[in-house]
Amino acid sequence: MTSDIRRFGTTAADQPVDAITLRAGELTARILTFGATLQDLRLAGTPWPLVLGSDLLAAYEQRLHWCGAVVGPVANRLFRAQVTLDGTLWQAQPNDGANLLHSGAEGISQRIWTIEEASAEAVTLRLDLPHGAAALPGNRVIRATYRLAPPATLEITLAAETDALTLMNLAHHPYWNLDGTATTAGHSLSVAADQILPTDAENLPLSPVPVETLTLDLRHPRPLPDLPPVDHNFCLSGQGLRPVAQLTGAKGVSLDLHSDAPGLQVYDGRALQSAPFPGLMGSPYGAHAGVALEPQLWPDAPRHADFPPITLAPGTPWRQRSAVHLTRRPAA
């Protein structure tokens, strides 16, 4: 089979955006060239989407900035939106109080990527960031590959390279709702992490503490409605591509997330609001419509010598792999 590529829409700046539909086994996924966004994901026999998204491009430009997108080049938060590299201060425009979140308006989630390779079951998107773009040095090449593998696995590979010392922390930012309902009530979540990063009043990370300290011990499944507010980096146990989280809905669909990243940002979606734009189920999304599971390096790493570094040097390719395994419990 050949690739399925169609026009999705046009941005407010009159840039065309394409949608690539992938099919393999029991899965169908739709990827946008805007932000390398996972716009829709369907499991055969399940008549609702498993991710949050919209059929309107304007929704991604206005209300759903990071929904399903690849965020970066610096995912999560960066103190005072600045970093010093090789003696030069690089200052971005803050977008989260005085700090930077997901690289702000210049981030890769708000840019048009190009289709480098496409087939029936996989697509590789490429983004070229020139020196100074997103307020960071280096001519950078970033790639995102989505691949479906039977029976029901979505593989995501993020890669980057640079010709000058820079920062690189890419993250895929889907919101999951496995039931097609208005909220994630009825879902349970587990995360393979013994430690977590608490946050200060500006949502900036502090040093790791045991998960019990924040009453966010998710080493065994817990119902989402019973959790305290969560927008934290879990310091994942183990190394390499390994199981890091499991999400189970009330209607029999389960998600097993594997990743080689050292961290997983879990966000409960409490501030979600897509109105006036409808979501994939026809109504606007509100609070807790989905839960974000974002494999990543740890946030605000330049200020923390004990965090995994997010600097990227020339000649050292950056790569992160994740795999989402979906299953559906047979009807009783």
| Tens-place pLDDT, residues 93-135 | 999 999 999 999 999 999 999 999 999 999 999 999 999 999 9
**The pLDDT of residue 331:** 59
Residues whose CB falls within 8 Å of the CB of residue 313, separated by 6 or more in sequence, listed in order: 162, 165
**The pLDDT of residue 1:** 60
Would you say residue 182 has pLDDT above 90? yes
- Closest by CA to 226, choosing from 211, 214, 216, is 216
- Cβ–Cβ < 8 Å for 209, 217: no
Task: Specify the CATH number of the domain 4-328.
Answer: 2.70.98.10
Average pLDDT over residues 40-45: 98
**The pLDDT of residue 3:** 86
Average pLDDT over residues 304-325: 98
Confidence of residue 256 (pLDDT cuts 50, 70, 90): very high
Enclosing H/E stretch for 58: helix 57-62
Per-residue pLDDT of 54-80, as tens digits, reads 999 999 999 998 999 999 999 999 999
Would you say residue 330 has pLDDT above 80? no
Query: At residue 302, what is the residue type?
Result: P
**The pLDDT of residue 37:** 99
Per-residue pLDDT of 137-174, as tens digits, reads 999 999 999 999 999 999 999 999 999 999 999 999 99
Q: Percent of the chain having pLDDT more than 90?
A: 97
Q: Is 206 exposed, middle or buried (0-12, 13-18, 19+ CB in 10 A)?
A: exposed
Would you say residue 332 has pLDDT above 60? no
**The pLDDT of residue 290:** 98
Per-residue pLDDT of 277-313, as tens digits, reads 999 999 999 999 999 999 999 999 999 999 999 999 9
**The pLDDT of residue 87:** 96
- Closest by CA to 219, choosing from 248, 256, 194, 247, is 194
**The pLDDT of residue 236:** 98
The overall average pLDDT reported for the chain is 97
The separation between CA 121 and the C-alpha centre of its own chain, rounded to angstroms, equals 20
As beta bridge partners, residue 114 has 126
Torsions phi, psi for 284 (to 5 deg):
-60, 150
